[in-house]
Amino acid sequence: MFENIIGQAEAIRRLSQDIKDGQLPGSLLFDGPPLSAKLSGALELARVSSCDDGAAWNCDCPQCAKHRALTHSDLLLLGPKTSRAELAIAVDMLDQAPTPASRYFFIRAVRKVCKRFDPELYGNEEARLAKIQPLLRIVMEGLEYCLPGNGDGRLAATEARKLLTTCEKLHDQIPASTPVFQVRSIEHQARQGAWHRRRLIVIEHADSMMDAARNALLKILEEPPEQTTFVLTTSRRQAIIPTILSRLRPYRFVQRDAAAARQVLVRVFRIDQREPDLALDTSIGDYFAQHRGGAMETVTLQARRFLLAVLAERHDDGLVLDGQPLAAMRDSHQPAAAVMAGILKETANFGGSVDAMSWLFPAFLEEGGRLLADWLRDSRSPGLLRFAERFAACSRDSLMRYTAYNLNPAALGEWLLASLSDTNPAS
Ligand SMILES: [Zn+2]
């Protein structure tokens, strides 16, 4: 078990030991940097928890088969993101070598997205799925051609490429933060018990939950139902509130060294066959960034952090998101200025003057606008609408200064922050 998790010996050793001793707790935290196999570890734990037959890596029992294709009903997956880059890479892999392994890789990448729209996660809010259904149907039908053993490999690759745009649309509909109704739905699901042996509920980016959602989660974590295991993942452990942390057993995933990263690129992404010229010291992050979608995901999270920090600091009780006033979050968020400073550091000043990175700042603005539009769909807050309009105006201004006047993006980031803050008389 866990043979597919590369370069995480300590976390895997502890997990395997806890399983062997029958000591696996009901609530776990997989904590570690981006792209360190936290989700893969959780999915493998789901397989191991369901298997009737010792959970060897090549076990062919029906439970393992369902987990390998990510269709097992005992797995629920929620939380923002998954990866647009992973989808793009999966299609490339299938294109270049339509083997059973690359077919599985593609199917899993797609189902990681689709599973976030499982009806079990929507409980009484099924109406929200209405506009997603047509996209899901297209994907489900197309996936049939991609399953290993279903027809010829070239056809699978062609279908996969056709599905990519629909998958990306679906990906963009994943809620930016786990909504409270989903936490209530999983609570209900958890109390139903498992279909087979054990239910595994994975919440990715658990640090990005809003107060209402995490209060609801706290209640289930206090007493996880018997047949259910919760796995929360995060790359920002310090942003999870202590009352939740104290209920989770932590398993630490580490930044892989160069040798282990290379092994992932060869064994998982088959780069030796596909991109033999790739530099030996390419990290997994760099590899994903080359497929831009990976870096895009980071930009989305940065835009989100920035907006929430700015909103929390505004003196406007009419600002409501997810049913709660944003001012209530003031204490639990870093000051907006510190958030912007952090983003500038992470992005090396939005790519500074490097041409290849010149898309970063516009993408940050665009994602901010998209997030606000998302939030407005679910909230009728007039304060939020006013803020979104202001953001749109400032964003247009800074984009023009950036593209037309070639102004430094770091200075524009600071200007954006100042213009959005309500201590600014113009706001
Ligand atoms: Zn099995």
Per-residue confidence band for 425, with pLDDT thresholds at 50, 70 and 90: very low
Average pLDDT on 251-280 reads 84
Using the mean position of ligand 1's atoms as its centre, give its distance from the Cα of residue 53 in Å. Answer: 5
What local confidence, expressed as pLDDT, does residue 295 receive? 66
User: Do 362 and 241 share a domain, yes or no?
Assistant: no
Residues 184 and 102 in one domain: yes
- The sheet carrying 228-234 orders its strands as 75-78, 199-203, 228-234, 27-31, 249-252
DSSP state of 257: P
Rounded to 5°, angle at Cα 341 from 402 and 392:
45
pLDDT exceeds cutoff 80 at 133: yes
DSSP 376: H
Q: Region 63-76: what's the mean pLDDT?
A: 95
**364 found inside a domain:** yes
Ligand 1 center to 38 CA (angstroms)? 21
Phi and psi for 417 in degrees, rounded to 5? -60, -50
Distance 331 CA to ligand 1 centre (A): 47
The total domain count for the chain is 2
* 123 CA to centre of ligand 1 in angstroms: 30
Tens digits of residue pLDDT in 376-390: 887 778 888 889 999
Q: Tokens 């890479």 map to which residue?
A: 89
Are residue 267 and residue 171 in the same domain, yes or no? yes
- 312-328: pLDDT as tens digits: 888 776 777 766 777 76
CA of 103 to the centre of ligand 1 (A): 20
Question: What is the whole-number distance in angstroms between the Cα of residue 112 and the centre of ligand 1?
Answer: 20
Query: Which one-letter DSSP state was computed for residue 138?
Result: H
| Residue spans of beta strands (DSSP E) within 71-129 | 75-78
Are both 254 and 383 inside the same structural domain?
Answer: no
Enclosing domain of residue 381 = 292-420
The answer to which of 12-16, 222-226, 323-327 has the lowest mean pLDDT is 323-327
In angstroms, what is the span from residue 64 Cα to ligand 1's centroid? Answer: 4
Q: Average model confidence (pLDDT) for the chain? A: 87
Q: Are residues 303 and 176 in the same domain?
A: no
Do residues 225 and 319 both lie within one domain?
no
Distance 107 CA to ligand 1 centre (A): 19
**Stretch among 171-175, 228-232, 328-332 having the lowest mean pLDDT:** 328-332
Q: With a cut of 60, say whether residue 116 has pLDDT above it.
A: yes
Task: Please tell me whether residues 14 and 150 are part of one structural domain.
Answer: yes
Domain membership flag for residue 2 = no
- Are 180 and 321 found together in one domain? no
Choose the final residue of a domain: 242, 274, 306: 274
From 191, 205, 284, 223, select the one nearest 29 (Cα to Cα): 205
Centroid of ligand 1 to alpha carbon of 196 (angstroms)? 12
Looking at the structure, do residues 54 and 155 belong to the same domain, yes or no? yes
- Chain Cα centroid distance, residue 43: 14
* pTM for the predicted model, two decimal places: 0.73
Q: Find residue 200's DSSP bridge partners.
A: 75, 229
Quote the ligand 1 centre to 55 CA distance (angstroms): 5
Quick one: 236 and 98 in the same domain?
A: yes
CA distance 366 to 299: 10
Average the pLDDT over each of 167-176, 218-227, 321-330 and give the range with the smallest value: 321-330
Task: Tell me, in angstroms, the distance from the centre of ligand 1 to residue 257's CA.
Answer: 31
Q: Are residues 240 and 355 in the same domain?
A: no
